[in-house]
Amino acid sequence: MRRAPLPWTAWLLIALVVFLADQFTKLLIMGAFTLGEAREVTAFFNLVRVHNAGAAFSMLADAGGWQRWFFTALGLGAAGFMTWMLRAHAGERLFCSALSLILGGALGNVVDRLLYGHVVDFLDFHALGWHFPAFNLADSGITVGAGLLILDELLRVRRTRA
């Protein structure tokens, strides 16, 4: 028995939860940490406060300021497109779950850029002296959502061939 499709507004609610969780955790970090401060949580994980004016892995962080507006516009454009896709494909649960996670994350980082001119990152995983670039919940939503989009497409191809 197939489940009834969720209304597209339910997918927006999921994106809102991701967005609010992201913004709340960033506010906690900004209130408890100074810029550059790190606190060890486990042998492989720290909480830190770093600012990223660029994109993933600090790409274009030293580009002179134009990147703030470029990534803000890109995020807003992507958010508009994803909202349209959620409305058009509300019955596709895996696809819409993926878009909702990406949408919430994208808007979380857009708000950071608009308010602060940079994104606040605070999750720092490391091993043997090597640190993965710090990230935040918005980045996690975007990454998990992208993985779900890939899975959705692989499953769609598999169904088409069957």
Question: Which structure tokens are listed for 12?
Answer: 């927006």
| Separation between Cα atoms, residue 71 and residue 76, nearest integer Å | 8
Query: What sign has the CA pseudo-torsion 50, 141, 77, 153?
Result: positive
C-alpha dihedral over 10, 11, 16, 21, to 10 degrees?
A: 110
Angle formed by the axes of helices 8-32 and 137-161, nearest 10°? 150
| Separation between Cα atoms, residue 131 and residue 152, nearest integer Å | 31
Given the residues 112, 121, 124, 152, the one annotated as active site: 121
For the question of residue 139 being annotated catalytic, the response is yes
Given the residues 22, 112, 124, 139, the one annotated as active site: 139
Please list the alpha-helical segments (H only) found in 64-92: 66-88
For the question of residue 112 being annotated catalytic, the response is no
What positions carry a catalytic annotation?
A: 121, 139
